[in-house]
Amino acid sequence: MVPMMVPAQARKELMKKLLSSLVAIALTALPLSTSALDSKNRDRLENCGMVMDDILRIPEDIPARLMDKAECVVVIPSVVTVAFIGGGSYGRGAMTCRSGEHFDGSWSAPAMMALEGGSVGFQAGAQATDFIFLVMNPRGAMAILNNKVKLGGDIAAAAGPKGRDVQADTDVSFRAEMLTYSRARGLFAGVSVEGSTLRPDNGANEDVYGKKISAADIVRTGEIAPPAAAQQLLELLNKHSPHNDSDRNSIN
C-alpha cells in the first residue's frame, strides 16, 4: 500500500497547532514553578520563627545580655549535618538586623542567607541541625550583608556561651564578631562552625521581595516591608530583645 502524502499546507497547519500547544503548556507550567519557589522560601522564613521560638523556651538558652548586644541574628533551620560536613549540601535561612543607621531600631525585614561547607563540631552525625548566629558588631554585619564570608577567617566566630546565669562579658564575647549556636536531637549548645561560609542568597531574596535587591538594602534602608512569613521571627526578637545594649563606641 502506498502511504498517503500529507499536503504541504496541511503539514504547516499541523506544525502551527503543535507549536501553539507547546507554548500553552510552557506558559501553564511557569506559574507553577514560581509558586513552588515562593512556597519554599515562605516555609524557610516560618521555620526560622519556629526555631527561634523553641530556643527561647529552653531554660538554658542564649543569655539575654548577649542577645541585647547583638546587631543581627541569623537563623538557619534544618541543615542536614552529615551532608553538610561533606560539603555536598548547605543550609538556607534568614538574617535580620536592628534597623536604623546605628543599629538601634526595631528588627528589620529579613534577608535570605545561605550557609555552606565546613565543620559543625560536636553535632557530627546528627540528622538535622538548627543554627543561630549572633552578629556582635557593625563590621561583621556589613561584611555578611555585602559578601560571601568565611567564618573564623573573614570574620571572627566563636561558640557562644549559654544559660541565664552565665557571665556573658567574657573575653570570647568581646573578641568574636559572631557567636554561634546549634540545636540537634534536643541538645542546644554553642558550636564551632569555623571554615563554613555565609553569604546572601540573592535568588531567594528576589523571590521573596519580587525584585532584584541586595541583602544590605533589605536590612539597612528600613524601606522594605517584611513578608508575612517572617512575622513570628520579628515579633519574638522585638519582644525578647527590643533594645540594643552594644557598646556605643563600636557602632558607626
What are the tens digits of pLDDT across the range 68-116? 999 999 999 987 654 444 444 478 999 999 998 889 899 999 999 999 8
Asked if residue 27 is part of any domain, the answer here is no
Alpha-carbon span 226 to 97, nearest angstrom: 12
- Other CB atoms within 10 A of residue 231 CB: 13
- Cell reading at 117: 561547607
Structural domain tally of the chain? 1
Asked if residue 251 is part of any domain, the answer here is no
Asked if residue 28 is part of any domain, the answer here is no
Contact 227, 236 (CB under 8 A): no
Q: Which regions in the chain score pLDDT beneath 70? A: 1-37, 80-89, 118-127, 164-174, 247-252
pLDDT at 108: 97
pTM: 0.79
Asked if residue 157 is part of any domain, the answer here is yes
Asked if residue 36 is part of any domain, the answer here is no
Asked if residue 37 is part of any domain, the answer here is no
pLDDT at 184: 83
Domain that holds residue 97: 52-244
Asked if residue 8 is part of any domain, the answer here is no
Asked if residue 149 is part of any domain, the answer here is yes
